[in-house]
């Protein structure tokens, strides 16, 4: 019945698009820059203002050039500090350079110039990581996919500086614009986990960053391969694994919680879609909400589609209600979001309460993902409890 309604609405006329003017984007972003919250953890207001006020469109060449011009001086300062042995200054400048190359590739790498910016952001983060208390280990996990898919999953592993291995593991991934690099630095989630005695593993979700596969109705295969690899690692306790999907990554967290329930102790979906987000009524509202720009270009790239119209036609197939997932039993699942999320409807969380195993939830007086000063601490405490971590 849902499908018929979707098709009838689709046939009524042309789907209207909306593009937020760049000056309005800066108004949306500037408070976040001032607060230093995701995705501006290392950004300075003056730098961002200079880049944003120089732009009049989202043209990829101009966008990348504006932020690359901000990043390069910090990259050079990091290199100079490294040569003189000033580790703190090297780390700080490389993180700044990472920040601006990361914005240069934002929201996704759907052009050659954005792919190049992404490579530079990775290079800068890994250089900065040399000076972290717990450096990043880049690992390659074998992946046996379908014809035409990649053969490896690139992941970032960090293991506590303790002698009591094997360690419980926090396994994370982002959404359609949040790559594994952001999972390591956003709001110090990673450092908090390490301090609590957890190892951390960050990957790119399907269709994102270095992922070997695009998003699809069965792309949870990606996470199954990682869980297989975890089983082989002596330093990791495969019996104490928690997963956390951010934004659209929460969709995969819900799926993993249901389809791999015996292999994890808990899952967190922070702002993830389930069913209603894939319906035409909601899709037609998304571009006028809080998502900055190019939402449909970004989600289409993740799912290997070429247009907004293709996404509208394809999206209902992703519904976990239609796929019959929701009535299965699941691992303990925490749902987190803002009550006023304009990217993913809060009623997707409510729908989960009506099906399958009982769920936990914490909703905030906020927008997408429920960002607030206590959000990450509340989530980390829940995960630590489920993994039997003594805090």
CB-CB contact of 94 with 78 (8 Å): yes
Q: Residue-wise over 102-118: b if at least 16 C-beta within 10 A, else e?
A: bbbbbbbbebebbebbb
State the residue for tokens 């961002």: 48
In tens, the pLDDT along 69-82 reads 999 999 999 999 99
For 354-368, write each residue's pLDDT tens digit. Answer: 999 999 999 999 999
pLDDT tens readout for residues 251-285: 999 999 999 999 999 999 999 999 999 999 999 99
So what's the pLDDT on residue 163?
A: 78
CATH architecture designation of domain 21-131: Up-down Bundle (1.20)
Per-residue pLDDT at 391: 63
pTM of the model: 0.94
CATH superfamily to which 135-391 belongs: Alpha/Beta hydrolase fold, catalytic domain (3.40.50.1820)
- Whether residue 8 is predicted with pLDDT greater than 50 in this model: the reply is no
What pLDDT does 259 receive? 98
Cα distances (Å, whole numbers) of residue 140 to 161, 212, 230, 378? 22, 11, 12, 31
Residue 9 has pLDDT above 70, yes or no: no
In the chain, where are the structural domains located? 21-131, 135-391
Whether 21-131 and 135-391 share one fold: the answer is no
Question: Mind listing the pLDDT tens digit for each residue in 309-349?
Answer: 999 999 999 999 999 999 999 999 999 999 999 999 999 99
pLDDT of 246 > 80? The answer is: yes
pLDDT confidence band for 159 (50 / 70 / 90): very high
């Amino acid at each position: 019945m849902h499908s018929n309604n979707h098709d009838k609405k689709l046939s009524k006329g042309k789907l209207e698009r909306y593009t937020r003017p760049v000056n309005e984007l800066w108004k949306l972003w500037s408070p976040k820059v001032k607060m230093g919250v995701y995705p501006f953890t290392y950004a300075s207001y003056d730098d961002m203002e200079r880049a944003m006020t120089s732009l009049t469109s989202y043209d990829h060449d101009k966008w990348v050039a504006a932020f690359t011009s901000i990043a390069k001086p910090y990259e050079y300062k990091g290199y100079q500090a490294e040569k003189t042995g000033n580790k703190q200054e090297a780390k700080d400048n490389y993180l700044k350079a990472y920040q601006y190359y990361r914005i240069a590739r934002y929201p996704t790498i759907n052009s050659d110039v954005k792919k190049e910016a992404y490579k530079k952001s990775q290079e800068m983060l890994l250089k900065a990581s040399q000076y972290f208390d717990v450096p990043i280990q880049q690992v390659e996990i074998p992946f046996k996919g379908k014809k035409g898919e990649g053969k490896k999953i690139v992941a970032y592993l960090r293991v506590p500086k303790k002698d009591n291995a094997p360690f419980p593991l926090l396994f994370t991934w982002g959404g359609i614009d949040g790559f594994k690099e952001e999972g390591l630095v956003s709001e110090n989630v990673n450092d908090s986990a390490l301090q609590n005695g957890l190892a951390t593993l960050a990957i790119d979700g399907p269709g994102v960053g270095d992922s070997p596969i695009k998003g699809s109705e069965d792309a949870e295969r990606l996470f199954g391969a990682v869980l297989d690899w975890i089983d082989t690692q002596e330093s990791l306790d495969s019996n104490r694994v928690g997963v956390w999907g951010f934004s659209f990554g929460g969709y995969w967290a819900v799926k993993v919680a249901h389809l791999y329930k015996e292999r994890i102790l808990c899952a967190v979906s922070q702002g993830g879609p389930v069913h209603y987000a894939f319906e035409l009524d909601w899709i037609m509202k998304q571009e006028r909400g809080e998502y900055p720009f190019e939402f449909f270009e970004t989600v289409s790239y993740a799912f290997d589609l070429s247009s907004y119209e293709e996404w509208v036609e394809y999206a209902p197939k992703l519904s976990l209600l239609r796929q019959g997932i929701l009535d299965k039993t699941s691992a303990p699942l925490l749902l987190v979001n803002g009550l006023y999320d304009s990217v993913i409807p809060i009623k997707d969380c409510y729908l989960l309460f009506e099906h399958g195993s009982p769920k936990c939830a914490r909703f905030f007086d906020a927008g997408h993902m429920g960002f607030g000063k206590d959000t990450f601490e509340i989530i980390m405490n829940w995960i630590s409890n489920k993994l039997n971590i003594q805090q």
